[in-house]
């Protein structure tokens, strides 16, 4: 992020556009060199469209040998493209770490058996290849993602201006809460990855530390307060490296902080009280540091200690997806299985397209229709009505993303797929299945997913 950029209007006519250039794993190119090459490549454009994946840069040999992908990210600018003179381009070059063997933080006091070690937290280097694409895959009805980025930016502006912390202060704590499976944990990881990319000109490295709230509490219940303190001592050590940015994720924070109210009412052991107090004290110490962000998630915001909630600069409700968000989630599922050859190719309309079709059209094309546009419309409209059904059942993002698997397993049947199995020989472990000819028709998948949704509705009735 540019020091003056808030991703919004820079002057009366200019918008900041972020461009992310991902380097190949083995590239040893200097980030500055790549940045200069990308910049001069883009400066030849007349207009820039966003969000989009840039093409054509492969013709620059140095880019072709080092760069993997160049993305123009979403912008607050309401139009889908800008003239170059209206845009301020910010280029972020990054090379995701391949290392997904996370380093783990043991909370051992040193004099225990190894078996007793509890993994209080895990740390991974950012940007990390395992979180690539996560940010884009998360779809929400509101501007949750942009709002979070804006918050980070606002804190940077204040930090840079050395605002007196006694007069204007913030806690560097963000709390996401909402029903299960709405993408809270994923959003925390995705934001951490995004920050690592966007702040790479300020920090040489970034890390995500995920606190395992449950294990912290359950294993050595009577010592939990001390464990929290010890864990935060380690976090403080990480944060002391001022050229590194640290995102701390406290998942399901209610399990750490639920205890105080109970303790005050005399129903919980006082250890619970010590945990919360230790956590709050440690958070207060960390807020002085510029290079840290604490992200917490919860299903039960009412169960969280109010003093913790009060420390959160942003308390964001993450709702179940709207019909439109569901459409986009299901569309991304379908596009993925089409891209992998499991479903035969068909154009699935974008949300904007389908909203127009919905208003003006009544397509005739179903399976067997020869006009590709009519067929695409009909597929889109069916998907939209499936989305409405999912919405009526209050399905979470998690439940939506597994629909294709359920559809295949229960209703389509692997045998009917018309693809798969490496030709001639049995597959070896890890070997990708090769499409054999065309995949199954998309209508079959829509039927299967719809049946899976109906089935789920029946199951839910039984649960109530
Ligand atoms: N809004 C969304 N857009 C796209 N995918 C989503 C969305 N919400 C959830 N998912 C998918 O659901 C899966 C589960 O998400 P995640 O674990 O982040 O949810 P959560 O809110 O942390 O759930 P829980 O409260 O149960 O911990 C993820 O793999 C993600 O891809
Ligand atoms: Mg979660």
Distance 237 CA to ligand 2 centre (A): 26
- pLDDT confidence of residue 364: 62
In a domain, 381, yes or no: yes
Distance 373 CA to ligand 1 centre (A): 33
| pLDDT band of 78, cuts 50, 70, 90 | confident
Q: 364-401 pLDDT, tens per residue?
A: 666 566 788 899 999 999 999 999 999 999 999 999 99
Provide DSSP, 416-444.
GSS--S-SSSPPPTTPPPPP-S--B-HHH
Question: From the CB of 398, is ligand 1 less than 6 Å away?
Answer: yes
Tell me: cis bond preceding 331? Omega within 30 of 0 counts.
Answer: no
Question: From the CB of 321, is ligand 1 less than 6 Å away?
Answer: yes
What share of the chain has pLDDT > 90, as a percent?
Answer: 61
pLDDT surpasses 50 at 343: yes
Taking a C-beta distance cutoff of 8 angstroms, is the pair 433, 421 a contact? Answer: yes
Domain count, the chain: 3
Among the residues of 93-200, which ranges form H helices? 134-137, 144-160, 184-198
Do 122 and 69 lie in one domain? The reply is no
Do 450 and 351 lie in one domain? The reply is yes
What share of the chain has pLDDT > 70, as a percent?
Answer: 83
In a domain, 8, yes or no: no
And the tokens for 33?
Answer: 């060199």
Helix, strand, coil: what percent of the chain each, to 5? 45, 15, 35
Q: Which of 317, 339, 367 is the last residue of a domain?
A: 317
pLDDT surpasses 80 at 101: no
Question: From the CB of 332, is ligand 1 less than 6 Å away?
Answer: no
Q: Residue 101 CB: number of other CB atoms within 10 A?
A: 7
Of ligand 1's atoms, which has the minimum distance to the CA of residue 134?
31
In a domain, 275, yes or no: yes
Q: Which burial class, exposed, middle or buried, applies to 16 when counting CB atoms under 10 A from its CB (0-12, 13-18, 19+)?
A: buried
Q: Which of 317, 344, 366 is the last residue of a domain?
A: 317
Do 160 and 306 lie in one domain? The reply is yes
Do 249 and 350 lie in one domain? The reply is no
CATH of the domain at 180: 3.40.50.300
Q: Residue 37 CB: number of other CB atoms within 10 A?
A: 21
Taking a C-beta distance cutoff of 8 angstroms, is the pair 279, 257 a contact? Answer: yes
Nearest to 66 by CA among 99, 98, 95, 100: 95
Provide DSSP, 287-334.
TT-TTEEEEEEES-GGGS-HHHHHH-SEEEE-PPPPHHHHHHHHHHHH
Q: Which of 41, 61, 94 is the last residue of a domain?
A: 94
Do 230 and 146 lie in one domain? The reply is yes
Domain region containing 69:
15-94
Do 134 and 269 lie in one domain? The reply is yes
CATH of the domain at 78: 3.10.330
pLDDT surpasses 80 at 417: no
Distance 92 CA to ligand 1 centre (A): 27
């Amino acid at each position: 992020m540019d020091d003056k950029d808030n991703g919004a209007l820079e002057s009366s006519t200019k918008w900041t556009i972020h461009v992310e250039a991902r380097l190949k794993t083995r590239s040893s190119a200097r980030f500055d060199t790549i940045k200069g090459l990308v910049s001069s490549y883009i400066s030849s454009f007349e207009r820039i469209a966003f969000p989009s994946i840039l093409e054509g840069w492969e013709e620059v040999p140095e880019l072709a040998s080092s760069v993997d992908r160049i993305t123009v990210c979403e912008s607050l600018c309401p139009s889908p493209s800008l003239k170059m003179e209206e845009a301020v381009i910010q280029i972020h070059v990054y090379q995701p770490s391949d290392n997904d063997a996370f380093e783990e933080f043991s909370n051992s006091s040193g004099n225990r058996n190894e078996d007793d070690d509890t993994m209080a937290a895990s740390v991974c280097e950012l940007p990390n290849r395992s979180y690539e694409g996560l940010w884009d895959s998360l779809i929400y009805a509101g501007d949750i993602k942009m709002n979070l980025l804006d918050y980070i930016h606002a804190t940077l502006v204040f930090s840079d201006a050395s605002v007196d912390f006694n007069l204007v202060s913030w806690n560097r704590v963000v709390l996401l809460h909402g029903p299960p499976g709405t993408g809270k944990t994923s959003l925390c990881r995705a934001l951490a990855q995004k920050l690592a990319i966007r702040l790479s000109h300020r920090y040489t490295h970034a890390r995500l530390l995920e606190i395992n709230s449950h294990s912290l509490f359950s294993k050595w219940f009577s010592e939990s307060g001390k464990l929290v303190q010890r864990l935060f001592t380690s976090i403080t050590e990480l944060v002391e490296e001022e050229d590194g940015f640290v995102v701390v994720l406290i998942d399901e924070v209610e399990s750490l902080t639920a205890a105080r109210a109970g303790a005050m009412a005399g129903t919980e052991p006082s250890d619970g009280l010590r945990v919360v107090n230790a956590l709050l004290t440690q958070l207060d110490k960390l807020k002085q540091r510029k290079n840290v962000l604490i992200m917490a998630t919860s299903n039960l915001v009412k169960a969280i200690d109010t003093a913790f909630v009060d420390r959160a600069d942003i308390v964001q409700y993450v709702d179940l997806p709207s019909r439109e968000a569901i459409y986009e989630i299901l569309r991304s599922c379908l596009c993925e299985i089409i891209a992998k050859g499991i479903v035969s190719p068909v154009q699935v309309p974008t949300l904007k397209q389908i909203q127009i079709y919905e208003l003006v059209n009544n397509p005739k094309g179903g399976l067997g229709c020869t006009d590709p546009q009519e067929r695409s419309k009909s597929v889109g409209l069916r998907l939209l009505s499936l989305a409405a059904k999912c919405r009526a059942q209050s399905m979470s993002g998690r439940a939506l993303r597994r629909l294709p698997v359920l559809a295949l397993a229960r209703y389509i049947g692997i045998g009917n797929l018309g693809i798969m199995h490496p030709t001639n020989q049995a597959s070896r472990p890890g070997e990708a299945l090769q499409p054999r000819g065309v995949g199954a028709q998309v209508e079959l998948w829509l039927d299967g997913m719809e049946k899976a949704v109906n089935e789920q509705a029946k199951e839910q009735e039984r649960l109530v």
